Amino acid sequence: MKLYFAANACSLSPHIVLRELGLPFELVRVNNKTKQTSEGRSFLDVNPKGYVAALVLDNGEVLTEGPAILQYLADLKPEKMLAPANGTWERVRLQETLNFITSEIHAGCAPLFSSEIPEGVKDVVKEKFYKRLDNLDATLSRKDYLHDEFGVADAYLYTVLSWLPVFSIDIKRWPALARFQDRIGARPSTRAALAAEEAVPAV
Ligand SMILES: N[C@@H](CCC(=O)N[C@@H](CS)C(=O)NCC(=O)O)C(=O)O
pLDDT in tens, 58-83: 999 999 999 999 999 999 999 999 99
Q: Which pLDDT tens digit goes with each residue over 115-160?
A: 999 999 999 999 999 999 999 999 999 999 999 999 999 999 999 9
Strands 54-56 and 2-5 come out as antiparallel
Going by the DSSP 8-state scheme, the letter that residue 6 receives in this structure is: -
**Are 54 and 116 within one domain?**
no
pTM for the structure as a whole: 0.98
Q: Which of 3, 4, 10, 112 most suits a substitution to test ligand 1, by most atoms within 8 Å of the C-beta?
A: 10
The enclosing domain of 179 has a CATH number of 1.20.1050.10
**pLDDT band with cut points at 50, 70 and 90 for residue 186:** very high
The count of domains in the chain is 2
Give the number of other Cβ atoms within 10 Å of residue 87's Cβ: 8
- In terms of domains, do 76 and 59 share one? yes
Domain of residue 40, residue span: 2-80+189-199
Q: Which of 55, 46, 50, 47 is nearest to 33 (CA)?
A: 50
Are residues 93 and 129 located together in one domain of the fold? yes
Question: 27 in helix, strand or coil?
Answer: strand
Assess whether 56 and 127 both reside in one domain.
Answer: no
Question: What does R_g of the chain's alpha carbons equal in angstroms?
Answer: 17
